[in-house]
Amino acid sequence: MQHQKISRPDRPNTLTSPVWTVNVGPAPQTDCLSGTHEVDVLVIGGGIAGTTTALHLAEKGVSVILVEAQQFGDGATGQSGGIVAPDYIRHSPETIGAVLGEPAGERLTGMIGGSGQHLFDLIDRQGIECDARQDGFYTPSHTEALAEQQRGYAAQWRSRGYNVSFVEGAEARPLFGANRYCGALRFEDGGGLNPLAFVRGLARAAQRNGARLYTNSPVSRLERKDGYWLCRTPIGTVRAQRLVLAANGGNAALHPAMQRTSLPLHVFQFASFPLDPAQRKVILPDGGGFTDKLPYLFTARLDGLGHLISAFPMSFMVNGDKGYYREARRRLKQHFDVMPDPQIAHLWRGLAWVNTSFLPEIYDLGDNAIAIQACNGRGIATNTVIGSEVATMLATGDRDALSVRPRAPVPVRFHAGAALLPRLLMSMAYLTN
Ligand SMILES: Cc1cc2nc3c(=O)[nH]c(=O)nc-3n(C[C@H](O)[C@H](O)[C@H](O)COP(=O)(O)OP(=O)(O)OC[C@H]3O[C@@H](n4cnc5c(N)ncnc54)[C@H](O)[C@@H]3O)c2cc1C
């Protein structure tokens, strides 16, 4: 008997737009900046960091203008996986003390531990429709040694009042539908959302509160003149007393002190076709999302339409559109037995910027200017809080409003070479996967 290969007519084989564009309302109405404007605070960048800063400033009655080079969410925010992860990337509540000192470490732990709840409360308060689901975030353990360490991390978070537990192997595997793991750290306050819908909702809320937002307005020149910040876009000018750089990797082109302070991490993010009922029963049946700790890390979550969303880092080993689709299918097949022939509906490229500390950073640039620095591939929840704290600090003048102590920017040494490191490390990780 001859088997006919069934192919989906709409199966793409080149890069697509992010899956988030499928299930999102229209972008807020905005103009491009034209003419001359005066304002107290100018925010540059319309991702999560910039829009939350503008929203909270406007709520506090501060006059604020935000300029975005393209559209809201066109940077890392709209390219992201939308996982709400109230956890450190490389630290725990106790190990961070050795890096920052105890009071600063505890302060940052409070911010990160509370960031999931903060974000979901904000979504509720502003009535933002963004497929938000507070159904947990997991860090699975792939070795018993990591499981043991994570049992300790769960206790550290719990002793500080956060809803974090360790799920043992036999209970953890059915939560994911993947057999690779021997347990998982569970953050009850985490979850997921449509990041494009979220940032558009934040922008709309900022406008409602009186912030002036402009899109398609790339800042081409920023200078200090007569005690003010003067910002030029192709057909507009803003004169501001204070400045917030929230352009992520774009900060480097805006202020000389920001040059060479972060490293690019290229990621391919993808979404399967909506899972069928049998797959749905097995893969993340209770929802939630996870990111593991393997060097060639794996991440997964479901959106409200049943797409399975995952990612792989760019390496020198996987090339060309066909190769990217092949790799996306391999990753799903490798993790989920119930997906012997995964089909990919969306696959897009993203650019995350990382600090060498892997911690959220705020840079003090002097002259009433600060920068919210790099996203570390983990900024959905933390940058939402940072935006709100920066706004409080600017409205009240109280630097203690910030959980991240601002410091002077420091360029990464041997930056040109270091910028290749993430891709090189991911190539080595690919080979061991
Ligand atoms: C592929 C990928 C997956 C990710 N997945 C997750 C995840 O699942 N969970 C998580 O927590 N985090 C994730 N992240 C990280 C997360 O997306 C970021 O931390 C967060 O969105 C950063 O927000 P931001 O506002 O700082 O930066 P951005 O969203 O990058 O916003 C910066 C904005 O500044 C604008 N801009 C730049 N230059 C200029 C200029 N000269 N003039 C005007 N505007 C300018 C850009 O157009 C952009 O819109 C991911 C990132 C990537 C790339």
**CA 355 – CA 405 distance, rounded (Å):** 15
Is the distance from the beta carbon of residue 114 to the nearest atom of ligand 1 less than 6 Å?
A: no
Largest separation between any pair of C-alpha atoms in the chain: 82
Which residue has a Cα nearest atom 2 of ligand 1?
80
C-alpha pair distances (Å), 65 with each of 10, 36, 216, 250, 331: 41, 12, 14, 18, 43
Triad 176, 179, 180: Cα angle to 5°: 105
Residue closest to 319 by CA, chosen among 427, 429, 432, 433: 427
Could you write out the DSSP letters of every residue in 156-174? Answer: HHHHTT--EEEEEHHHHHH
Is the distance from the beta carbon of residue 266 to the nearest atom of ligand 1 less than 6 Å?
A: no
- The helix (run of H) or strand (run of E) holding residue 363 is strand 361-366
| Cα 237 to averaged position of ligand 1 atoms, centre (Å) | 24
Q: Which of 248, 265, 373 to mutate to test the pocket of ligand 1 (most atoms within 8 A of CB)?
A: 248
C-alpha pair distances (Å), 21 with each of 133, 194, 206, 233: 18, 9, 21, 27
291: which residues sit within 8 A by CB, 6+ positions away?
A: 83, 85, 137, 139, 297, 298, 299
- The helix (run of H) or strand (run of E) holding residue 242 is strand 236-245
Yes or no: say if 300 and 290 are a contact pair by the CB < 8 Å rule: yes
26: which residues sit within 8 A by CB, 6+ positions away?
A: none
The pLDDT value given to residue 6: 41
Handedness of CA 346, 348, 353, 357 (dihedral sign): positive
As averages over each run of 10 residues, the pLDDT of the chain (433 residues) reads 47 93 94 98 98 98 98 97 96 95 96 98 98 98 96 98 96 91 97 98 98 98 96 98 97 96 94 97 97 93 97 92 96 96 97 91 97 88 98 97 95 85 82 80
Triad 44, 50, 54: Cα angle to 5°: 100
For tokens 């620095």, the residue is 373
3-state secondary structure of 144: helix
Is the distance from the beta carbon of residue 250 to the nearest atom of ligand 1 less than 6 Å?
A: yes
3-state secondary structure of 99: helix
| Cα 316 to averaged position of ligand 1 atoms, centre (Å) | 23
**CA 167 – CA 276 distance, rounded (Å):** 27
Pick the CATH number of 19-427 from 3.40.50.150, 3.20.20.70, 1.10.10.10, 3.50.50.60: 3.50.50.60
Residue closest to 112 by CA, chosen among 135, 130, 93, 126: 93
The tokens for 176 are: 């994911």
| Cα 268 to averaged position of ligand 1 atoms, centre (Å) | 14
151: left (phi over 0), alpha (psi -120 to 50) or beta: alpha
